[in-house]
Amino acid sequence: MTLTITAFERSPDGGKGLARDSRVRWALEEVNQAYEVRLVSFQAMKQPAHLALHPFGQIPTLEDGELALFETGAIVLHLGQRYPGLLPEGAEARARAVAWMFAAVNTVEPPILELTMARLFERDQPWYADRLPALEARVRTRLQQLAARLGDADWLEGAFSAADLMMVHVLLRLRSTGLLDEFPPLAAYVARGEARPAYQRAFAAQLAVNTRAA
Amino acid sequence: MTLTITAFERSPDGGKGLARDSRVRWALEEVNQAYEVRLVSFQAMKQPAHLALHPFGQIPTLEDGELALFETGAIVLHLGQRYPGLLPEGAEARARAVAWMFAAVNTVEPPILELTMARLFERDQPWYADRLPALEARVRTRLQQLAARLGDADWLEGAFSAADLMMVHVLLRLRSTGLLDEFPPLAAYVARGEARPAYQRAFAAQLAVNTRAA
């Protein structure tokens, strides 16, 4: 059965690996599944053919036979349930890993996205300097809490799992802000994720797309 | 096996049902499971005992025997996998319902939270009037896309499911803004959710807590 994902024809980050298709590529590499990529332009993302796959006109999507999925959390979870390598054995450990996946996208990512969006799009606004400290404080709170829970562990729930895949990729977006470096255990955690061969292959694949596009 | 959740000793919304314990209460009512509630103060939420249950110091949590979970999406998914009544039969329909659960908390909720937080905490800031239109526009885009996908259907994925539970509760937070009423099919969708007896019981239970606290 062919697995097909969608990705940006030309990523807004120019190939830094921050677009969300990287999460799905990484998951596919961790479970050793070959996949095809259909590149979509910003214009095509808002057209009916793509909206049928993704109601909110974003990437990535996954087509797995008759099944079409959107939302990286759901796609990574689906791959983890279908193939070994991404989720712990045992219903309870698996449920805890799912909790971390939701925490990554619902509790940690939103303040990070708000901060990075402000840095990109509000820098010239008169209120930027006044808002920035509050945005950074929200992110720091989450990082401090995450670092406290991680402690000396390498990964969030036993061995590396989809929980770490999602969390590491969410944290990667912080690199350009310098905030990650304020929490050395988290910077090391992210580096452990990036050092995985599966991540390296995923990163190289998205970079190749964006190098060709440039 | 006793199921125990945590909830605010005194909810910031005074009992309007917008705190996230309502999602878990609603799910428990849909699957007809009795549960106990441990109320926590804002101070207790930041103490080690609660942080052991919830690394980010929030509510709700679920204790199910030895298993402790946080994140409403993960808790509702766990209940849906454990008891009938919240998830469709069949792996593919179930995966699509999970995609909507992630979409609710990762794609629809963040702009709604930003808008409602700005309305609460930035109203007196000099930039409020300048930022508000952009915040509202982000929410409208999501509502328009969601309404387009829902179309004439009653629910997002076949019969009522955890997908709708999560999405309806995320949308409920918009009521005070008036934005929901710009999309009558979505206002009707939310009303269908609120009309469910399980939701009514969950709402009454959280209201009783907050009435006693007041």
Chain B interface with A: residues with Cβ < 8 Å: 51, 55-58, 66-67, 69-75, 77-78, 92, 95-96, 98-99, 101-103, 105-107, 109-110, 113-114, 125-127, 130-131, 142, 145-146, 148-149
Which among B170, B197, B204 has a CA at the least distance from the CA of B186?
Answer: B170
**Alpha-carbon distance values, B172 to A35, A149, B134 (Å):** 39, 32, 20
Nearest to B74 among A98, A114, A131 (CB): A98
The pLDDT value given to residue A24: 98
For A87-137, write each residue's pLDDT tens digit.
999 999 999 999 999 999 999 999 999 999 999 988 998 889 989 999 999
Q: DSSP string covering A92-108, please? A: HHHHHHHHHHHHIIIII
Per-residue pLDDT for A1 more than 80? no
**How many Cα atoms within 13 Å fall on the side-chain side of residue B21?**
32
In three-state secondary structure terms, B90 is coil
CATH class of B91-196: mainly alpha
Residue B194 phi/psi, 5° resolution?
A: -65, -25
The pLDDT value given to residue B214: 79
Give the distance between the most distant pair of CA atoms in chain B.
Answer: 53
Determine whether domain A3-86+198-213 maps to CATH 3.10.129.10: no
- Taken as a whole, chain A contains a residue count of 214
DSSP assignment, residue B180? Answer: G
Task: Report chain A residues whose CB lies below 8 A from the CB of B96.
Answer: 67, 69
For A56-77, write each residue's pLDDT tens digit.
999 999 999 999 999 999 999 9
The pLDDT value given to residue B1: 72
Per-residue pLDDT for A196 more than 80? yes
Cα B86 to the chain's mean position, in Å? 14
**Interface pTM, i.e. ipTM:** 0.97
The pLDDT value given to residue A213: 81
Cα B35 from Cα B63, distance rounded (Å): 10
The pLDDT value given to residue A77: 98
For A131-178, write each residue's pLDDT tens digit.
999 999 999 999 999 999 999 999 999 999 999 999 999 999 999 899
Residue A2 phi/psi, 5° resolution?
A: -75, 135
Question: In one letter, which amino acid is B129?
Answer: A
**Alpha helices (H) along chain A:** 21-30, 42-45, 48-53, 72-82, 91-103, 109-121, 128-150, 162-172, 184-194, 197-213
Cα A116 from Cα A174, distance rounded (Å): 8
In three-state secondary structure terms, A86 is coil
Cα A64 from Cα A82, distance rounded (Å): 11
In three-state secondary structure terms, B106 is helix
In angstroms, what separates the C-alpha of B173 from chain A's closest C-alpha? 16
Cα B45 from Cα B57, distance rounded (Å): 5
Task: Report chain A residues whose CB lies below 8 A from the CB of B78.
Answer: 95, 98
Task: Report chain A residues whose CB lies below 8 A from the CB of B55.
Answer: 103, 145-146, 148-149
What is the pLDDT tens value at each position of chain B, 214 positions in all?
799 999 999 999 999 999 999 999 999 999 999 999 999 999 999 999 999 999 999 999 999 999 999 999 999 999 999 999 999 999 999 999 999 999 999 999 999 999 999 999 889 988 899 899 999 999 999 999 999 999 999 999 999 999 999 999 999 999 989 999 999 999 999 999 999 999 999 999 999 999 988 7
The overall average pLDDT reported for chain A is 96
Beta strands B3-8 and B36-40, pairing class: parallel
Domain edges within chain B: 3-86+198-213, 91-196
* Four-residue CA torsion sign, B105, B111, B115, B121: positive
Question: In one letter, which amino acid is A115?
Answer: L
The pLDDT value given to residue A126: 87
Q: Do B107 and A71 touch (CB under 8 A)?
A: yes
Question: In one letter, which amino acid is A137?
Answer: A
Which residue, chain included where needed, has tokens 């008036």? B178
Which residue, chain included where needed, has tokens 């979509």? A40
Cα B194 from Cα A72, distance rounded (Å): 29
Chain A interface with B: residues with Cβ < 8 Å: 51, 55-58, 66-67, 69-75, 77-78, 92, 95-96, 98-99, 101-103, 105-107, 109-110, 113-114, 125-127, 130-131, 142, 145-146, 148-149
Is A121 buried (19+), middle (13-18) or exposed (0-12) by CB count in 10 A? exposed
